Amino acid sequence: MLVRKFNPNDLKRVHEIESMSFNRSYGINMFQQLYDMGVGFLVAEEEGYVIGYVIFWIKYENQGHIISIAVDKNYRRMKAGTQLLVKAISILSLLRLDTIYLEVNENNEAAIEFYKSFNFKVDRIVPGYYDNGDGAIVMYLHLNRAKVSG
Ligand SMILES: CC(C)(COP(=O)(O)OP(=O)(O)OC[C@H]1O[C@@H](n2cnc3c(N)ncnc32)[C@H](O)[C@@H]1OP(=O)(O)O)[C@@H](O)C(=O)NCCC(=O)NCCS
């Protein structure tokens, strides 16, 4: 498995993975716009086939933010998500940020377990954060406690 920078040839696959992973969809144009804005955007590739992506950026001077991460359903529990997040955390660590934040749907047990496996902690719950009324759990990771390998 290879983790590399996103390029616009990956747009269609990234959008497919997003569509199978979330009820709501940012859509292809949003991915293009995020890329044009210069956010961190990585994909995981298995034998030339894109199987997952992560998008991240610096929200405030000292805070990283995971915007989105998803892995193709057929390739889950094979550590693609781990490799993507490890790489994103490594890059954000190089930028000397203090903390990484993210929001996760309170009903998304797989993702919550995934983030806990990285030592992300619960910061707070934001009721009604998502369009369908679901709440979000805000999680954070202090970078000096991050897992940056494996
Ligand atoms: C969350 C997601 C990205 C994880 O990707 P993945 O490649 O399957 O995760 P990994 O194989 O790297 O899993 C690492 C660890 O996370 C935890 N984990 C991952 N999926 C899990 C699940 N379904 N149930 C419980 N724990 C889970 C486990 O501790 C796992 O280690 P293990 O397999 O050795 O037990 C993937 O489930 C996904 O794309 N979900 C849909 C999109 C989504 O919810 N994104 C997050 C939005 S905030």
Q: At what angle do helices 109-116 and 80-94 cross, to 10 degrees?
A: 50
pLDDT at position 25, please? 80
Pocket test for ligand 1, best of 20, 51, 77 (most atoms within 8 A of CB): 77
Q: Is 71 in the pocket of ligand 1 (CB under 6 A)?
A: yes
**14-46 pLDDT, tens digit each:** 999 999 999 888 889 999 999 999 999 999 999
Residues 136 and 101 sit within 8 Å (Cβ to Cβ): no
* In the chain, where the domains are located: 2-147
Rounded to two decimals, the pTM is: 0.95
Ligand 1 centroid from CA 37, angstroms: 28
Among 87, 121, 82, smallest CA distance to 104 is for 121
CATH 3.40.630.30 at 2-147, yes or no = yes
Ligand 1 centroid from CA 76, angstroms: 7
**80-131 pLDDT, tens digit each:** 999 999 999 999 999 889 999 999 999 999 999 999 999 999 999 999 999 9
Token digits for 70? 């998803």
Paired residues of 54 in beta bridges: 42, 69
